[in-house]
Amino acid sequence: MRTPPYPLSLPPWCDANTQPGEQGIANETAITKSHIGSTGTSGADPNRHNWDGNALRGGGGGGDAMAESLPLEMLTYILSFLPLSDQKEASLVSRAWYYAAQNALRERNVRGVSCIGLTNLDGSPASHQVLQSIAYHLGPHLQSLCLGGGSPTEASFVALILGCPALRSLDLSGCNSLFASGTLLAQPETAQQVRQALSGLRELNLAGLRDLADLSFNRLSSCTPSLERLSLAYCHLTFELGPAWGSINPQDSSQSQLSFHNLLRFVKERAARLRALDLSGTGLPPEALQALGQVAGLQLQELSLHSCQDLSTEAVAALCRQQPGLTSLDLSGCSELADRALLAVSRGLRHLQRLSLRKLQRLTDAGCTALGGLRKLQSLDMAECCLVSGRVLAQALGSVRRAPPPLASLSLAYCSSLKDTSVLSLIPALGPSLRVLDLSSCVALTNRTLQAICTYLTPLSVLRLAWCKELRDWGLLGLGEPSEEPAQKAQPHGELEYQASGPMDPSPQPQGPSLLMLQALQELDLTACSKLTDASLAQVLQFPQLRQLSLSLLPALTDNGLVAVARGCPSLERLALSHCSLLSDEGWAQAASSWPRLQHLNLSSCSRLTEQTLDTIGQACKQIQMLDVAMCPGISIAAVRQFQAQLPEVICIQSRFVGGADLTLTL
């Protein structure tokens, strides 16, 4: 049996007082979370399970004894449904729960973890040791590896790849250190070994590599014979117009630049397998897009052309005719495109499931009529399409003759022409499949829109209403509009004041469709909804599954509201409270203990907070990774450094202008 070159170190939560037998679960968890970084996605996962330790223990009293008396097999079975991070939390409840979590972890076989992201890698010996440990302990089973933004050495990278023969996805975005010298895989023996290790690789991400050239690209791509998905987003592609595109030999490839003719040659060679291309930000001209589309045998399913600003409507129309099998198309930021481009997409891409048209500022309601032809559309992004009012979109999606498309995600953020009337006609047409709705910065929307959402879109898991400044307390609570009864104007305000000052009711009974109806929410953004107060927030923010919440720029949010939110949303992992100037140390002293899972916290410009809040967070929120206390005059830089020293898990602390720095001297 091989001896591991370096042992897996214990995570910070497993200290010197670790009980006998706990080192196993600590070691196995460390390699997947503590020393590698997050392996999840930025946003809420609608399929993620939620658990409540208090509920499972019975809420105290006799319930604790009942939970402890459950057979170990039953506890193990229950905990096996939880994600890895929650199993770790459960293991800290009691000795019985620890053993049950350990058994569940063994059954899960953490050594077979298939997806890992490594952050902050460099050329140091410590990083080299981490890569060696990864290759030894997890390499044989690893299917997805992300090194994005790191700076590993070529030798460390090759050694890691050779230890991961089952890789299906490799992310090298921003790893410029690997390509700076131009010698990566220059040795034929090494290239042959890497080719054998990457023989099953399906996806390769080379986005943002400033030093990538034809020669280094050819060496790496030749080691991936099964490649199906390739990203060269924001790489510096050079374009030389002419009929000889793609006819150059690999031996004549440039050592200093990445050329389109070399890429086209690669696409022609791999046309039978290639299914997805990302050329966002490469400045792709219309002629190059047409040359790609007409490659013989190429049947793309996904194509991303974000920020290719020179693309024309004619080039997009030709693409739709040449590649009718596309299921995902990103044209966001292609500023020359207008309504005719969307019409061409609708006519040519009948199987389209994901479409991004963000920042197409020439797109109007007339172009939205074409969306009715995309009957399989699941995700639509029309953010920052300022001329779209939503009226025609509602008609296109809500055709009475056919069922609406199965939209799961819709973004109309920054569509300043959007009004209540058009959204009210759109919402019923969206159907029960919608899970993500983004209406951020649609500043004209009011409580009527919110209450329609709460009535028709109850399965939502993500709702973003940032900068919808007309939202008010009575809308969140499902109450009638105060202006409807002029003679009783003061009554609703009096009721809200009573609710805000009286005892918090954990189970409010709204009079109409309130935010409480969206119990599946995992992400909620109410940033800069400045007319909201504790009166509504304390009553409706009761979401056990909520993972991400933003209440930044709410000037009326107080300690009472903070404590109520903490009790109602105990599963938060990301919380933004910047510019909430009424929050104080007292509020955090009561709230912090409810958020043991908190990982990202933004408290910038909370002027009443002091170093006491840092101490409270450090004691209660052991999983914190990122903290922003910028422009907090009551917090000193010395306190920030002490906080970071106490919590090694912390990756980043934003502390600019702390301690009451005079901004007039720096701005």
| Per-domain boundaries in the chain | 72-111, 368-478+513-557, 573-666
- Domain 368-478+513-557 falls under CATH 3.90.1300.10: no
Structure tokens at 203: 């996806």
Q: Is-same-fold flag (368-478+513-557; 573-666)? A: yes
Q: In which element (H, E) is residue 79 found?
A: helix 72-79
CA distances to 3, 8, 213 from 189, rounded to whole Å, are 26, 31, 21
Q: What is the DSSP letter of 521?
A: -
CATH code for the domain defined by 72-111: 1.20.1280
CA distances to 60, 82, 447, 571 from 97, rounded to whole Å, are 16, 13, 45, 19
* Whole-number Å distance between alpha carbons of 458 and 436: 11
Listed in sequence order, the residues at least 6 apart from 510 whose beta carbon sits closer than 8 Å to its beta carbon are 477, 478, 479, 516, 540
- Domain 573-666 falls under CATH 3.40.50.300: no
Q: Which amino acid is at 93?
A: V
* Whole-number Å distance between alpha carbons of 644 and 655: 11
pLDDT value of position 663: 45
Burial category of 658 from C-beta neighbours within 10 Å (exposed 0-12, middle 13-18, buried 19 and up): buried
The radius of gyration of the chain from alpha carbons, rounded to an integer in Å, stands at 27
Contact between residue 124 and residue 151 where contact means Cβ atoms under 8 Å apart: no
pLDDT value of position 479: 86
Give the residue among 183, 184, 191 at the shortest CA–CA distance from 162.
191
Give the residue among 497, 447, 449 at the shortest CA–CA distance from 475.
447
* Whole-number Å distance between alpha carbons of 632 and 43: 27
Listed in sequence order, the residues at least 6 apart from 157 whose beta carbon sits closer than 8 Å to its beta carbon are 131, 147, 175, 178, 184
Contact between residue 153 and residue 177 where contact means Cβ atoms under 8 Å apart: yes
* Whole-number Å distance between alpha carbons of 289 and 206: 20
3-state secondary structure of 103: helix
CA 230 from centre of chain = 21
pLDDT digits (tens, 9 = 90+) for 370-395: 898 898 999 999 999 999 988 888 88
Give the residue among 570, 461, 579, 475 at the shortest CA–CA distance from 524.
461
Give the chain's largest Cα–Cα span: 87
Residue numbers in the chain where pLDDT is lower than 50: 1-4, 6-63, 246, 400-401, 484-510, 662-667
* Whole-number Å distance between alpha carbons of 311 and 337: 7
